[in-house]
Amino acid sequence: MGLRERIVEITTPEEADQFIDQHPLAAIFKAGTCHKTMQGWGHVQKFLEPYEDIRVGVIRVVEHRAASNHIALRSGIVHHSPQIILFQKGQPLYELNNWDITPENLEPAKALLPEPGQPTPDQGTSRSNLDVYKRLLDLYLEGHLSEYEFQLAYLNTFRGDASLRSQEEFELINSLFGNPDQGVASAGHHIHPLAIMEHEARHPQAIPLRERAAALREKLKGF
């Protein structure tokens, strides 16, 4: 099925919830009114075309502001347009906004999705497992992801992870960069992964990222 046949226009909050809840893998694209939307959609369309199991909901934010605001409220992701948000089992998995919607920035999302043609995760109860983090670490340590791609994918994954995890699991996956919401959680905000990456670049930790990643991967062998 081509991408055009998988596109659904979403106009209300109820339609937004129904769309996300019905599809184990779903994408929401918020369309604005300027050329950023046209350019961003072109990149998204090319990226999503091979993923036949991903349905795409399009919200035209000027005409359907309530639906757009509901997505922001449900996901905890600040509204932008254009904006692409990938959802898995109802939870936000990856997002990009405005001029950040580029082929380079979409590339890390591949590590979070099943290979095209592979079975889609079902909608059963989500188990607390760390496979997605293990896979990202492996791809980075084996040289398949650059440091930039790895940071973007890992931080987006962690930021959108609403799984019911043990304290031990949380502390492990949180240890690589520290809590993305630290210092602003009380204000109800989320720090964007790109801001965390910029902070990391300006204030590098004593132990290089690759060494920290290798140590974390070793610890995750027991999970």
pLDDT tens for 6-63 read: 999 999 999 999 999 999 999 999 998 877 888 889 899 999 999 999 999 999 999 9
User: Do 94 and 112 touch, CB atoms closer than 8 A?
Assistant: yes
Q: Give the pLDDT score at 80.
A: 93
- DSSP per residue, 181-192: TTTTGGGT----
CA distance 126 to 212: 28
Instruction: Report the chain's C-alpha Rg in angstroms.
Output: 17
Q: Give the pLDDT score at 213.
A: 96
Backbone φ, ψ for residue 97 (5° rounding): -135, 150
- DSSP per residue, 113-157: SPPTTSPPP-SSPPP---HHHHHHHHHHHTTSS-HHHHHHHHHHH
Q: For residue 92, give the nearest of 26, 147, 172, 22 by alpha carbon.
A: 26
**DSSP secondary structure code for residue 175 in this structure:** T
The amino acid at 5:
E
CA distance 154 to 193: 9
pTM equals: 0.60
Q: Give the pLDDT score at 123.
A: 40
Delineate the domains of the chain, giving CATH numbers in brackets.
3-107 (3.40.30.10), 131-222 (no CATH)
Residue stretches of the chain with pLDDT short of 50: 122-127, 180-190
User: What is the separation of C-alpha 118 from the centre of its chain, rounded to a whole number of angstroms?
Assistant: 19
